[in-house]
Structure 1
Amino acid sequence: MTTLALVLFLAQPFAAFAAEQRPIQPDVSTHVVGTVRDTTGLPLPGAMIEIDDSLVAVSDAEGRFEIDLASGARYRAVVTLPGFDPHESVLEVSRGVRLNVVLAVSRMQDQVTVTAPSPEEAVTRLFLLEPVQVYRTPGARADVFRALQTLPGVAAPDDAAGLFVRGGDVSEVLVSLDDAVIAHPYRYETPTGGYRGAVDPLLISGLSFSTGGFSARYGNALSGILDLRGLERPEAPQTTATFGLAGASASIAAPAGDRFGVHGAFNRTFTGVLFAVNGSPRPFDPPPEGWDGSAGFAWNLGRGGRLKGFSLMQRDRVGVGIEQDAFTGLLQSSTAHGFVGTRWDGALGDWAAAASFGHDDYKRGTRVGILDRTTTDRVTSWRMDLSAPTTSVVEWRVGANGSLAETAIAGRVPVRGGDLAGVSGDVRFDAVVDDWYGGAYLEATAHTGAVSTTIGARADRFGLARATTVDPRLNVRIGLGRTHALRFATGVYHQAPSPSYYDRERGASRLPPMRALHYVAGYEAGRETEGIYVRAEGFVKTYADLPLEEEVRGYTADGYGSARGVDLFVQWLSSRLEVRGTASWLRAKRRWTPVDQRERYDLPDGTWTPDFEIPWWVQIITTVPLSNSMNVSASWRSAAGRPHTPIVDGRAIGDRFLPVFGPVNSERLPRYERLDVSSSWLVPAGDGVAILFATVDNVLGRANFFDYVYTPDYASRQPVVNAAPRSVYVGVSLRR
């Protein structure tokens, strides 16, 4: 799906679709005239009008369209425009009838249900993101995680897709699909996440994302929650084929009867043409390549509720030249990933109910320098939620969830973290970890005038740690008129440490769950769907029981830390222009040991700046329609450089040298800046539409970098060259 996602990154979201009109030819016809406008009254060009699942017209520059329909007949009319919620109605054709449609903008907003927001959802502040918004974000490369990096509170310390939320590590975000845990949510995994997300936007119907202060429903996560929503039953058959510089892909979706539907997709990646066009300063052997396939179903069981299922298989391999400290060599990696999940929604008596089950299977082999390691990880998860009928001012919710993890990591690693040349020697790494986690929660939401309060708690049991935790949570919303509100949230959060800390050679035998305490206060003004909307939040987080290396016991739970900052989100929306701006300020300190940095540094007293602390960053995204079939978007991001630990000298070991490090993260790399531009052009193609697209990442070719490479004796250094200082991508997608 990667290639197809890259296509729609530019194509699907933009304001206008052009399609060949295919009018119905009735025996006795009536001429129907209509208009399509937004909620402010401005006309919307390029909207597609479908009558009984057949595309019959496209609105013009004034938002008008004309069709001929059989007199006296009834039709199902659907009007769609990317970036807007679809409009569906039943049209009874008679003389003088008009079809005037108003479309509402689809935007990031509070979590809502199909009907109205529940009391808990009105209190808890989440971001809601639709796939169309992922595609339309320049520089996101049609990736969910890169699009989320544009939100306030999410730092990007390098060009990877990892989510570092409000001073937290990338491992502190829980990712699920229909509440089934995706234990490995990235492709081409790295210590900072991975190159892109494992689930492409075409495979989901939307997502919700919390950057802190989330309710008692969620456990085993310290910083954030990302819940992806699976595809629903398709209403009509649809096929898509895509060809671009990096590969080809195809997808199909179709209903099967009145209640059942299926969908499937396949993608094949080949990067030879892409590198031939853009070049690369890095050697590849082999170049990035892989494939993935997915299938799913949605089944309406009538009174029995609704059942959805989804499966995903992925295979990747790559060999890429890397530089670290004074080491230069080839990193070779191969990955096999599979995921299957199912979700049921229905009722148990008068209670609304939902249940989910998932299994994530992951295997990866990595070789670089003296490091040679194989990781196998299997995670099975389950969840059950119940909501009481709303019969009073209080709504009760109760639920339980858990997981079982089986992890095996074996091979050889450097004695000193990051010493890929093996100057300090190597050692066997052997971790076999069987762990489980289970918990239950209870929460209630009440309204008193303009004040809405959700109070809850969860109790969790961590198997390997042999620990039980109790986490209270509180969320409060105070309405200040119709378009203003204050929000407050606080809570205690726990999460199990990574299995990599349990290496039999030098790891710990047991560690308690890590702990975080959140305080969040925010203000918002306006509506997310129109005009100007502003949201500002301040936060404070404290950490305890973090893993810290120790010579005798491997690791202890003596680590701790803190983070504080302010996040700002501003957007202005109209049918002619969209502008979105985000800004964040952050200060974070930690005393802990990341699992890949064992014995790398001499630990100082107290805390230090973690690798992912970016003190400030700002981003502006704008989208402008040039015509009813062409659109241009641009994104500009600027941020403080990431922290860096300098190497101040080299200590001779025979004919080689070990680095002598200065104070941990005492330097900061130069400021990061990047401008991305994208465009799409839509043209009729028989019964469907062809989408031509182009994107240029890092238009100005700025030489951003995230590390230094040193000479063998560490006497001098130079920046590590970015793998893609500027890149161009073009392609075409055919849809019908």
Structure 2
Amino acid sequence: MIAESRALLIQMNRAMYLRILLFFCYFFLIQQVAWGQTTLKGRVLDDKGLALPGANILIKGSYDGTTSDVDGRFEFQTKKEGFQILVFQLMGFKKVETTIECLGEEITLEEIELKEEITQMNAVTISAGALEASDENKAVVLRPLDIVTTPSAMGDITGALQTLPGTATVGNDGRLFVRGGDASEVGIYVDGLFVGNAYGSTTGNVPTRTRFNPNLFKGTFFSTGGYTAEFGQALSSTLALNTKDLSLRNQGDLSIMSVGGGYSHTLANEKQSITASANYFDLGPYQKLINQNFDFERPAYGWDLEAAGQKSLKKGGLIKALVRTEAGGLSLWQPQPGIDGRGVLLDLNNSYTYAQTNWKNAFAKGWTLFGGASYSHNVDNLGFDSLKIKNTANTLHAKTYSVKDFSDRVSMKLGVEYFQQNYSEALPEMDLTRNFEDQRIFAFTEWDWYLSSKLVFRAGLRAGRSSLNEQTWLDPRFSFAYQLSETSKVSLAAGFFSQMPVDNYRVLNPELQNSTSNHLIANYFYQKEGITFRAEAFYKSYNQLVTLEGDPMNPSFLENGGEGYAQGFDIFFRDQKSFKNTDYWVTYSFVDSERQFDQFEARVQPSYAPRHNFSLVVKHFIKPLKSQPGISFSMNDGFTYTDPNQPGQMNAKTKSFQSLSLSWSYLPKPNLIIHFACTNVLGRDNVFGYNFSQTPNGDGVFTSLPSGQVAPRFLFVGVFLTLSKDKTANQLNNL
């Protein structure tokens, strides 16, 4: 009995000891768990001190974390011990990492500041004076495809650009005239390299065209003023054309046109491509079918050969090369006011060669490098009855620059470029020649500061030196843009711009200095779902313009004695949404320009600067007919000219210029395009000025002849066939 009691007591003691042991272990573990948890709390703010809700906060390499509330506050616990990395991140802001030590205590992080991250998707861009025509840019104003489908353009790059704000249509010239400036004040670049004699040579008021085929380019940057410090030697604007990168496929493109024909062939793979083309045009057969207003002895003709190659490099770079050579001419009789007969025989033969190569690559740590060189060679053989003249121009341009992104907020561009220019005028039959050679060197830098994704500031500086006139100059430029909303922004640009006088003036007086211009531009830009609206006001002052005495064709006493201004505004509206399968844009520009230049003794409105300019382009695709008809209408209030029968200079104006053009593009098969276009359908007799006799007649009147269009209308028919394994490929794929 005693033994049983003792055994029972032992069992009871064991149970009590077990309970005590279990209680102790439980208490100890609870203390350990409590000691092993660290509480993290704090608040997340932006760089303006405003709360950021929805920010993710977590321990790096774990699932421990939380998100901030509407006040930006957060709190969570972690079992992690020792030193840990705490991560704060929110879309649109830079990630922040901070080191903490988890000791089982509460850690309070009062204010964690996240700075806005600037990317290409959310960064505001400067649009003052700038019109981009690249499908890769989110602010597209004019696509490369529009160049060939605008009825009045007839496939000419400048013809399409003349429907944009800030430009004027001068039908007997064909070049770009921007905001009261002469066509020589527009600098043209291909892949950032200068193109000498970019327009085809012409004479006798026959309009010219740019030399290059629009199929060559993937995009266009057209600046009507206030342009980047990278470009110079242009008082009014710059046109920067960017050639295509690697071609997509092997294909051949055959073109049969009412004025000629051509063929191009492309060989391509993943690493390299090359396109070679040959074209010929002759207005002779066209002249026999549709008579022209001009008395051609030999209508315009010409041929060209072109090759463009691209090669991607192992480290991501791309090298491009372009070579073009061409020749052509025309011969016509120029009637003379007050003189009977056919007039003076004007004869022109031109040969031209352009070559360039460039390389660009992006490297680590935010560096991008560019290098390239171009060469232009132009020879014009001119005849004025028995007088023979030979003009030769050579331009070499070498350029390199680097871009450094120090962060998503600060970017720098720094570069240098060199020009060597030779120009000569000769009378071969008299063995007389005058010429000049100039070497110019430039350095430029430009800095972009993104103060936020809504505000960017750009400052640039361009310095130049000419060996011919021993002049040195410095041009500062500034611009900024502010994003008002997701769809609209405002921007402002200002700066100094310099340009050497034209070659035929410099060869007479090599000591002529730069002409200068100061630009001030304010811009509003809106874009949303196929709707684009752009309004811009501008002011330009001119100084050191060249003035002369005598006939501008044979001037004397040239000096930098002129000045002037141009001011106004322009509006652009494009709608690709409101009407199904319809794309249209409307442009209006007002330009008030006066300048003292050339032979003018006081400020006058230049003949190439009409005050009011309007254009409308409409294109509509009809699916059942596989066709796209188009219509374009351009007008201005007329061109000023000097009537010697009245007192003063630039004392008269022509009637308003008006031109209605139509086009029809038909795709019977995916690889076949038939295109028809007609300019000035209504046959309006547009006059651009008058040529007056040198002396009055017996009644004391200076007789005149109008300077008008080559023909009342111009008709174009083209058949474009693409030969490729891909039967859906056509020439539109090149644009």
Higher-Rg member (1/2) = 2
Partner of residue 339 from structure 1, selected from 347, 351, 354 = 354
The answer to whether residue 199 in structure 2 is matched with residue 186 in structure 1 is yes
Match of 1:705? 687
Cα distance in 1 between the residues matched to 2:382 and 2:460: 43
Partner of residue 458 from structure 2, selected from 454, 457, 476 = 454
Q: Are 1:402 and 1:438, in contact at CA under 8 Å, matched by a contact in 2? A: yes
Q: How far off its partner does 1:463 sit?
A: 1.8
Q: How far off its partner does 1:718 sit?
A: 4.7
Q: How far off its partner does 1:725 sit?
A: 0.4
Cα shift readout 1:697-719 (whole Å, capped 9, x = no counterpart): 11101111113355783554453
Match of 1:636? 633
Relative to structure 1, is the Cα distance of residues 341 and 509 closer, same or farther in structure 2, using a 3 angstrom cutoff? closer
Cα distance in 2 between the residues matched to 1:335 and 1:200: 18
Q: How far off its partner does 1:237 sit?
A: 0.8
Partner of residue 319 from structure 1, selected from 311, 323, 331 = 331
The answer to whether residue 167 in structure 2 is matched with residue 164 in structure 1 is no
Q: Secondary structure at the match of 2:295?
A: coil
Residue identity in the other structure for 2:639: R
Match of 2:296? 284
Cα distance in 1 between the residues matched to 2:327 and 2:510: 33
Match of 2:220? 207
Residue identity in the other structure for 1:261: S
Cα distance in 1 between the residues matched to 2:466 and 2:311: 35
Relative to structure 1, is the Cα distance of residues 191 and 172 closer, same or farther in structure 2, using a 3 angstrom cutoff? farther
Match of 1:397? 413
The answer to whether residue 658 in structure 2 is matched with residue 673 in structure 1 is yes
Q: Are 2:171 and 2:207, in contact at CA under 8 Å, matched by a contact in 1? A: no
Match of 1:329? 344
Q: How far off its partner does 1:372 sit?
A: 3.4
Q: Are 1:278 and 1:726, in contact at CA under 8 Å, matched by a contact in 2? A: no
Q: Secondary structure at the match of 2:710?
A: coil
Q: Are 1:180 and 1:342, in contact at CA under 8 Å, matched by a contact in 2? A: no
Match of 2:649? 664
Q: Secondary structure at the match of 2:209?
A: strand
Cα shift readout 1:159-212 (whole Å, capped 9, x = no counterpart): 332111111111111111112211101113359895111111022222111010
Cα distance in 2 between the residues matched to 1:357 and 1:120: 29
RMSD after superposition = 2.5
Q: How far off its partner does 1:613 sit?
A: 1.7
Q: How far off its partner does 1:447 sit?
A: 1.9
Calculate percent identity across the aligned residue pairs: 24
Match of 1:17? none
Q: Which has the higher contact order (CA 8 A, sep 6+)?
A: 1
Cα shift readout 1:97-118 (whole Å, capped 9, x = no counterpart): xxxxxxxxxxxxxxxxx97598
Q: Are 2:128 and 2:521, in contact at CA under 8 Å, matched by a contact in 1? A: no
TM-score (norm 2): 0.75
Correspondence list, 1:55-454, <5 A: 125-128=130-133, 129-189=142-202, 194-255=207-268, 257-303=269-315, 305-323=317-335, 325-326=337-338, 328-347=343-362, 350=365, 351-369=367-385, 372-411=388-427, 430-449=433-452, 450-454=454-458
The answer to whether residue 576 in structure 2 is matched with residue 573 in structure 1 is yes
Q: How far off its partner does 1:430 sit?
A: 4.3
Q: Secondary structure at the match of 2:229?
A: coil
Residue identity in the other structure for 1:407: Y
Cα distance in 1 between the residues matched to 2:205 and 2:440: 25
Q: How far off its partner does 1:229 sit?
A: 1.1
Cα distance in 1 between the residues matched to 2:432 and 2:519: 35
Q: Are 2:204 and 2:346, in contact at CA under 8 Å, matched by a contact in 1? A: no
Match of 1:516? 517
Q: How far off its partner does 1:124 sit?
A: 7.3
Cα shift readout 1:553-580 (whole Å, capped 9, x = no counterpart): 8211121111111111011113511110
Cα distance in 2 between the residues matched to 1:541 and 1:231: 34
Q: Are 2:678 and 2:716, in contact at CA under 8 Å, matched by a contact in 1? A: yes
Cα distance in 2 between the residues matched to 1:646 and 1:695: 36
Cα distance in 1 between the residues matched to 2:703 and 2:146: 45
Q: Secondary structure at the match of 2:405?
A: coil
Cα distance in 1 between the residues matched to 2:309 and 2:619: 34
Q: Are 1:532 and 1:571, in contact at CA under 8 Å, matched by a contact in 2? A: yes
Q: Are 2:565 and 2:595, in contact at CA under 8 Å, matched by a contact in 1? A: yes
Cα shift readout 1:591-628 (whole Å, capped 9, x = no counterpart): 111xxxxxxx5x43x31222212111100100112235
Cα distance in 2 between the residues matched to 1:680 and 1:729: 12
Cα distance in 1 between the residues matched to 2:155 and 2:514: 35
Q: Secondary structure at the match of 1:288?
A: strand
Match of 1:732? 719
Residue identity in the other structure for 1:377: A
Match of 1:556? 559
Cα distance in 2 between the residues matched to 1:173 and 1:558: 21
Relative to structure 1, is the Cα distance of residues 307 and 715 closer, same or farther in structure 2, using a 3 angstrom cutoff? closer
Q: Secondary structure at the match of 1:286?
A: strand
Cα shift readout 1:403-442 (whole Å, capped 9, x = no counterpart): 11011112399xxxxxxxxxxxxx9984311002111112
The answer to whether residue 592 in structure 2 is matched with residue 587 in structure 1 is yes
Q: How far off its partner does 1:326 sit?
A: 4.4
Match of 2:70? none
Cα distance in 1 between the residues matched to 2:313 and 2:445: 28
Cα shift readout 1:669-700 (whole Å, capped 9, x = no counterpart): 1100010000021112xxx6222221121110
Cα distance in 2 between the residues matched to 1:553 and 1:617: 35
Partner of residue 610 from structure 1, selected from 561, 582, 606 = 606
Q: How far off its partner does 1:720 sit?
A: 3.9
Relative to structure 1, is the Cα distance of residues 644 and 317 closer, same or farther in structure 2, using a 3 angstrom cutoff? same
Residue identity in the other structure for 2:653: R
The answer to whether residue 475 in structure 2 is matched with residue 476 in structure 1 is no
Contiguous gaps of at least 5 residues in structure 1: 1-113, 414-426, 594-600, 649-660
The answer to whether residue 621 in structure 2 is matched with residue 625 in structure 1 is yes
Q: Are 1:533 and 1:572, in contact at CA under 8 Å, matched by a contact in 2? A: yes
Relative to structure 1, is the Cα distance of residues 533 and 119 closer, same or farther in structure 2, using a 3 angstrom cutoff? closer
Relative to structure 1, is the Cα distance of residues 710 and 379 closer, same or farther in structure 2, using a 3 angstrom cutoff? closer
Residue identity in the other structure for 2:308: G
Match of 1:655? none
Q: Are 1:695 and 1:728, in contact at CA under 8 Å, matched by a contact in 2? A: yes
Farther off after superposition, 161-170 or 331-340: 161-170
TM-score (norm 1): 0.75
Q: How far off its partner does 1:346 sit?
A: 0.9
Q: How far off its partner does 1:369 sit?
A: 4.3
Cα shift readout 1:527-559 (whole Å, capped 9, x = no counterpart): 3xx332210111110111111126998211121
Q: Are 1:119 and 1:446, in contact at CA under 8 Å, matched by a contact in 2? A: no
